[in-house]
Structure 1
Amino acid sequence: MKAFKRLSQMMLAAAVLLSTALQAEVQRFTDPYQMITVVADHAFSRLAEEKDNIQQNPEILRTMVHQELLPYIDVRYAAFRVIGNHIRNTTEEERDAFVSAFQEYMISTYAGTFTLYRDQQVVVESGQDVGNRRIATVRTRVIDPGKPDITIEFKLIRHRDSEYWQVFDMVAEGISLLDSKRAELGSMIRQQGLTRVTELLQERAKQPIELSEPED
């Protein structure tokens, strides 16, 4: 139960940090620290505004994540990292289908963790010069009254053909969300094949979003 609680807190913090108010155009960031800071500032007000509507219809959270969270995550890069070495035994069509299913599965997962939001505060570390690096880490501290602070590191990537940053992983107290998903799904891919795992993710993504109370 402690492991589940920690993972839930980690994913909730990520959802809160990466969510941003709906805009006509997605704002892009050439500074990874600015990206995390700006979207964090918008997140709390948006969740507060939607609180009553979410109580009536939790599926709003799925739409919110789809519209606001995905633009800041490199889903394809993360999905390929989950596939790992098994990728050499797959076709392009299988990989595309998996990326799509993985995306919808993560939308559903993040939407579920949004139901745990209870006025947490996020402090983002001061920005640093990343130079020409393609990988950056932004450290944050999540303050939840009455509970120990949670330190979370966001891993971002800037591809060679782009100047903008996207998140591909987060690490909370040494636990990588991407590594945990790779461990969970990697053995399934090896045993059952990518197509079957894609089907399983599609099934999981269809589960309704239900309101839940955070653990003490």
Structure 2
Amino acid sequence: MTLLTRLTAALTGTLLAFAAQAAAPDQIIRDATDAVRADIAQNVATYQKDKAAFYAMVEDKIVPHFDTPYIAKVILGNHLKSASPEQIAEFEAAFKDMLIRTYADRLLEYYDSIEIEVKPARLSGNRGTVATTIIRKEPGKPPIPIEFSVRQPKGSEEWKIWDIKAENISLVLNFRTQLDAEIKRNGIPKVIERIKAGQLVVGAETGDGTR
């Protein structure tokens, strides 16, 4: 084996080793946030006219970092036992689309009026949190603390987001509470239908006065 061949093999092995290492969750959140904001800045006029293209960009750059199968199971909670695999998959897809619709418009509206600070991740085993702060540029507007809960799915070294806490309120657990009575009353298929129709949204009223 020539020296060049040995060097090439060693370099290839090193690069593969680095590629196999999972990125830290705070770096994932920082990179994804920067990528989305840069994309919006470059294409804001297009996205304001073509929301479908904007939602597709957000799904491409943000959604892969969320553990949507796990989120769906956490939200369904005790109702998971009575749900078929097809219903669970359909609920996951409906929740993902609802999440994009709910928060993507806010990203588009405020992308240039905030700064986002991402603190180092706090990890324990295959779980952890990443604290961030949204700093609003308008005078007198207080910063907004946002905390991401992350986990490594079984058999994976990649970190995925499974919850977001704003002002200590869990998005996932809040939505589970919000949907519990709705599922008991109408069943999972009807809830999926209402989510798809935009009638059930994270943090919004369910229609019977509950949240």
Alignment TM class, shorter chain as reference: 0.7 to 0.9
**Alignment-derived partner of residue 5 in structure 2:** none
Alpha-carbon distance in structure 2 between the residues aligned to 1:35 and 1:118: 18
Name the aligned partner's letter for residue 35 of structure 2.
Answer: H
Q: Residues 194-213 of structure 1 correspond to what in structure 2 (within 5 A)?
A: 194-204=188-198
Counterparts in 2 of 1:82-121, with a 5 A limit? 82-119=75-112, 120-121=114-115
Native 8 Å contact 1:138 1:154 kept in 2: yes
Partner of 2:33: 40
Query: Is the 2:71–2:163 contact (alpha carbons within 8 Å) kept by the matching residues of 1?
Result: yes
Question: What is the deviation of 1:28?
Answer: 8.6
In structure 1, list runs of 5 or more residues that go unmatched: 1-26, 206-216
CA contact (8 A) 1:61 1:114 kept: no
Amino-acid identity (%): 29
Match of 1:138 among 121, 130, 137: 130
CA distance in structure 2 between the partners assigned to 1:176 and 1:183 by the alignment:
11
TM-score normalised over the length of structure 1: 0.75
Moved more, 57-66 or 163-172: 57-66
> Which of 145, 151, 154 in structure 2 is aligned with 1:151?
145
The answer as to 2:54 corresponding to 1:61 is yes
CA RMSD of aligned residues (A): 2.1
- The 5 A counterparts of 1:187-198 are 187-198=181-192
The answer (yes or no) to whether the contact 1:102–1:201 under 8 Å persists in 2 is yes
SS in 1 for 2:155: coil
- Paired positions, count: 177
User: Does residue 169 of structure 2 align to residue 175 of structure 1?
Assistant: yes
Larger Cα Rg: Structure 1 or Structure 2? 2
What SS is found at the alignment partner of 1:116?
helix
d(CA) in 1 for partners of 2:41, 2:127:
33
Distance 2:165 2:190 in 1: 28
Give the 3 Å change call, closer, same or farther, for CA 29–122 of structure 1 in structure 2. farther
Contact 1:65 1:110 in 2 (8 A): no
Uncovered stretches (5+) of structure 2, i.e. residues with no partner: 1-19, 200-211
